[in-house]
Structure 1
Amino acid sequence: MRIAWFGWLAQHFGEYGYSDGPLRAAIGTGAVLVTAALVWFALHRNRPAAVAAAGLTCAVGIGWLAFH
């Protein structure tokens, strides 16, 4: 499932920015949060790494949406 999610996200990478309106911004933010959750679950055995990676994923994803 994780690989399928990342593949789908890569395919639709440029479609969900904050400049495209509130609905697409909400969908893009949701996609970033789901991706951060998947990163967390992938690294859940090492809690500090999971927190750092999920936080970085969230910050970079939302930052990309904001300046896209």
Structure 2
Amino acid sequence: MRITWFAWLAQHADEYGYSDGPLRATIGTVAVLVTAALLWFALHRHRPAALAAVGLTCALGVGWLAFH
């Protein structure tokens, strides 16, 4: 499921931006948070790596949504 999610997100990445209104911004933010949650579940055995991956994903994802 994780690979399918990342593939789907990559395919639709241009549709989720904050400049497109509140609905799309909410959808984009939820997509970033779901991606971060999937990374957490994938790396949960190595907590420092999981925290770093989730933090980086959230920061980059929300930052990308804000500036594109």
Q: How far 1:18 moved relative to its partner? A: 0.1
Note the aligned Cα RMSD (angstroms). Answer: 0.4
Q: How far 1:21 moved relative to its partner? A: 0.2
Gaps of 5+ in 2: none
Q: How far 1:43 moved relative to its partner? A: 0.5
> 2:37, 2:67 → 1: CA distance?
22
TM-score, normalising length: structure 1: 0.98
Between the aligned residues of both structures, percent identity stands at 82
Secondary structure of the residue aligned to 1:14 is helix
Structure 1 runs (4+) greater than 3 angstroms displaced: none
Match of 1:6 in 2: 6
Aligned length, in residue pairs: 68
Q: How far 1:24 moved relative to its partner? A: 0.2
Gaps of 5+ in 1: none
Between structures 1 and 2, the one with greater helix share: 2
Q: How far 1:3 moved relative to its partner? A: 0.6
Secondary structure of the residue aligned to 1:45 is coil
Q: How far 1:56 moved relative to its partner? A: 0.4
> 1:33, 1:5 → 2: CA distance?
12
